[in-house]
Structure 1
Amino acid sequence: MTGATATATYPRKNRRRPSRGIGSTAGFLALSLSVYAVVGVLWGLLRPGYEATVDDAGAVSLVPAFNVEFTAFITFVVATGLLGALLALVMFVSSPHTRGSLMLLWVTVCTFFGAVVFFSAGNVVTHLIHPVPDLENVEPGSSMTLVPGITAGIGLAAAPFMASLAYWCAVLVSPPETGTDQSPAMF
């Protein structure tokens, strides 16, 4: 065959497309981790810190301020809890074909991992913006912002709790689906 190109046709493999339920659950995982990461970065940018000054003797004196550790922790808990409830309601409304107890469990698991991503992203950003200074190289009279570290602890439970509560409440108050004679049941 000169001057012509041979086009080979390959038989199509019988590939099964993933079900809508698998697509919805994967999409929810991607959405929740992305949203939690973005908001976690914002949280890390806005975390409060203590203003400190180095005196002539080399000692660091802190400016009296409110408890920044508690403020950072409570904003973490409130932000992840609200995000969890919002994302659970988004999943409930956008994917009616997956409603049920398995989706309630999936939403709970995804928001837990989302809270972990939120906390990790926020801490990385905080430490990039406000690194711990080397006190041997700090000149007297200079000032700096010190952001103390916090542990998430039980605060990691806020997002999954609020998500499961919001999803469960949405199931309870939603009207029965048309064409069926039973209300949506969780269990």
Structure 2
Amino acid sequence: MAVSEAAEAPSRRRLHVGATARTAMAVFALAVGANVAWAVPWGLLRPAQRVSIGPDGQAWSDAAALAVQFPQYALWVIVSSIVAFVVSIGAYRRSLAARNLWTMAAVVFSASIGALMAFDLGNWLSTVAHPMPAPQDIEPGGSVEIALVLSGRVGVLAAAGIAALSYWVSAWVTESESGEDS
């Protein structure tokens, strides 16, 4: 009885990664990397919030420090949306073989995760740059500077929406351009 060569060779399974999966992995790495790259200086350079301690121990925040929260939040939304736009257009233009709904979903997911990582990294780095002093070090009548920590991750919807919209518009414009050539 002859044994075939296929039976003698150990069975090897090759992982076949399609164009969509390769594009999704590249988009994820790019979105996270770009968002982390701008979140580091954003978190470290974010201004501190001055908190004054009254003689009775009650704490109140400076009104000027509270006015900084919205511009910092807006900066996060705008820059995360720009990163999402660039990643989305780049994914569409560079991956001819992977222009489909799954790639668009990967772009939206990656833009969202990148924006969330930038938000959390910026908040964490802000607390590292401006740590909370120990309670025994705070004197009544004095003031301390603490980290300006942002809240409200709902702004991630802007990055996801920009990513989806720009990918979809790219597909629509490409289809209409190819239709005019006929």
TM-score, reference length from structure 1:
0.75
In the alignment, residue 176 of structure 1 is paired with which amino acid? S
Tell whether 2:131 aligns with 1:131.
yes
Q: Say whether residues 1:50 and 2:49 are aligned partners.
A: yes
Q: How far is 1:137 from its partner?
A: 1.1
Q: Which amino acid in structure 1 is aligned with residue 160 of structure 2?
A: P
1:18 and 2:20 correspond: no
Gaps of 5+ in 1: 1-9, 182-187
**Identical counterparts, % of pairs:** 23
Q: Distance in 2 between matches of 1:151 and 1:61?
A: 19
**Using the alignment, how far apart are the partners of 2:62 and 2:111 within structure 1?**
37
What one-letter code is carried by the residue in structure 2 that aligns with 1:22? A
**Mapping of 1:49-68 within 5 angstroms?**
49-52=48-51, 63-65=62-64, 67-68=67-68
Which residues in structure 2 correspond to 1:73-112 (within 5 Å)? 73-112=73-112
Give deviations 1:79-121, integer Å, cap 9, x for gaps: 1111111111111111121112222122111111111111111
User: What letter corresponds to residue 152 of structure 2 in structure 1?
Assistant: A
**Secondary structure at the counterpart of residue 50 of structure 2:** strand
Conserved 8 A contact 1:49-1:68 = no
C-alpha separation in 2, matches of 1:130 and 1:91: 38
The answer on whether the counterparts of 2:116 and 2:153 sit within 8 Å (CA) in structure 1 is no
Label 1:145 to 1:24 Cα distance change in 2 as closer, same or farther (>3 A). Answer: same
How far apart are residue 19 of structure 1 and its match? Answer: 2.3
C-alpha distance in 2, partners of 1:62/1:112? 32
Q: Contact between 1:48 and 1:72, CA under 8 Å: does it hold in 2?
A: no
Distance 1:70 1:14 in 2: 53
Cα pair 1:40 1:121 within 8 Å, conserved: yes
CA RMSD of aligned residues (A): 3.0
Residue 178 of structure 2 is matched in structure 1 by 176
The normalised TM-score by structure 2 is 0.76
The alignment of Structure 1 onto Structure 2 pairs a total of residues equal to 170
